[in-house]
Homo-oligomer: A and B are copies of this chain.
Amino acid sequence: MAKDDKKEKAPGFTLKTPKGTKDWEGKDMVLRSKIFDTITEVFKRHGGVTIDTPVFELREILAGKYGEDSKLIYDLKDQGGEICSLRYDLTVPFARFLAMNPTIQNIKRYHIAKVYRRDQPAMTKGRMREFYQCDFDIAGVYENMIPDAEALAIAVEGLTAVGIDDFTIKVNHRKILDGIFTVCGVPEADVRKISSAVDKLDKLPWEEVKREMTDDKGLDADVADKIGEYVKLRGSTELLVKLRADEALMANESAKSGVSDMELLATYLEAFGVLSKISFDMSLARGLDYYTGIIYECVTSASAPPLVSAASTENGEKRKSTKKSANEDDDVSEFVGVGSIAAGGRYDELVGMFSQSKKKAIMPCVGISFGVERIFSLIKAKEDMAKIRGSHTQVYVMAFGGGKEWTGFLPERLSVASSLWRAGISAEYLYKSKPKVRQQFDAAEKVGAPVAVILGQDEYGLGKVKVKLLGQGDASDDGTDVSLDELAEHVKSVLAKLN
């Protein structure tokens, strides 16, 4: 049967992972796991607990949550039964979870898991169709801006912990943005679509965004120009002073309330010692529909979009590297415009959207999501990958001997290895009944084991093995004879000394 299958199938298919997905392995995998572990530690430090939701949700749960991006949702095939889609982010499933569990009145939850977007992976390098998100969200009715400030503190702490220092967090407020649009004269019905044009300012020059507002979305050119003046504004607390002094803007209740929030936020950010990392930035819009308050994006110099030449822009091509024609180094292109490395915001109405009673559930939420795979690219460029060990093996169990009587000590090696395992020590040996000495040292070196336990033809009969440090070059010791009874304890003390 298996053979028939082979013959039928071998010519017909392409051996690859689906478009926009990849296998993670080797040192990349070790480094990525390290990043996950580091960020998880930060989450736990802030009292976070984790939940795990299914990879797919009922399609109607995801409907109407992502604005223009909804077209990127992966659907499952209708094979009878429910209609489902792969999750697009971890936020909507979290809101669905909260709506289903009304007894949970507050929670700080973190979730590190894969999400799925049918994006064009070729268009935006480093953007995959399957990728990890690393989210921390604070849900509950709390005093204004305290959880928001902590979410930003977590962003700073998380990025710093993984080794990124040269970042800025752009912060804006949906209420200020909405106020700006109203004050500039955008009809209320057009606010969301104009907002989604502003959202592209991190990828496109203002002229291009203005063209979209006017030509594509029918906005008056002078209204667009007024918006253009506001979205240029960025800075630290002096910007908040400037907005406070803008009488036209302060006459708008939404904008006024947003500025008050930002002022309070700034006080708390200062108490957390992270205000210097923040840039209040009126050009930040965030594409997703569900945000209702503070929004933010963490960027580094590597987050900048690739240079767009005037010619290619006029041709309507977006995000094209000017290096395109040059002999591009894959590693370099990975770093061209990785986009934001963490982002989030407040979404006070999302849980209520799932509420089925007439009295909508009120569950204010604020969250931060780390783009761990983008962070991975940045860290990898700085890290000395040669120093990363793939496996954790501490001991290589070997047999030395020869001659006619030589059995290779295979069952004996298995027995010694299992005594080490039982003591919690990681150990390997060569899967060969009569291995050569050289082969065993090579294998030990390949996995980077720091210690060898050697079963010598004569000594083993006397209940003794040799424990030898590896990787010491010429200064290599001759090893220490240890009785089998004391082996595990002895190896533990040797390993403790090495660390």
Contacts and interface: CB of A to CB of B under 8 A. Distances in A.
A240 interface: no
B414 A44 contact: no
Contacts of A273: 415, 418
Contact of A267 (B52, B192, B349, B411): B411
A58 B18 contact: yes
Given A12-B60, A15-B99, A75 B76 contact: yes
A426 interface: yes
A192 B16 CA distance: 29
A354 B48 CA distance: 43
Interface of A: 1-3, 5-6, 8-19, 21-26, 29-30, 32-33, 41-42, 44-58, 60-61, 63-65, 74-79, 81-82, 84, 86, 96-97, 99-101, 108, 114, 116, 118, 130, 138, 140, 142-143, 146-147, 149-150, 153, 157, 192, 267-268, 270-274, 289-290, 292, 349, 352-356, 360, 390-393, 410-412, 414-415, 418, 421-422, 424-428, 431-433, 447
A100 B271 contact: no
A23 B47 contact: no
Nearest to A61: B13
Nearest to A4: B64
26 contacts: A2-B292, A5-B64, A5-B65, A6-B349, A9-B63, A13-B61, A15-B96, A15-B99, A15-B100, A17-B58, A23-B54, A25-B51, A26-B49, A30-B49, A46-B428, A47-B427, A47-B447, A49-B390, A76-B76, A76-B77, A76-B86, A142-B431, A157-B421, A157-B422, A271-B418, A272-B415
Given A5-B353, A9-B353, A25-B97, A426 B147 contact: no
A18 B54 contact: yes
B22 A54 contact: yes
B74 A52 contact: no
Given A18-B84, A77-B76, A433-B143, A51 B64 contact: no
Contacts of A360: 6
A258 to B, nearest CB: 17
Pairs of residues from A and B, 8 with the lowest C-beta to C-beta distance, nearest first: A21-B54, A271-B411, A142-B431, A271-B414, A24-B52, A13-B60, A75-B77, A5-B64
A354 B15 contact: yes
Given A147-B431, A414-B268, A53 B23 contact: yes
Q: Is the interface of A mostly helix, strand, loop or mixed?
A: mixed
Given A411-B268, A415-B273, A58 B143 contact: no
Contacts of A13: 58, 60-61
B21 A352 contact: no
B353 A47 contact: no
A18 to B, nearest CB: 5
A25 to B, nearest CB: 4
Contacts of A431: 138, 140, 142-143, 146-147, 150
Contacts of A289: 1-2, 5
A268 B101 CA distance: 51
A57 B22 CA distance: 10
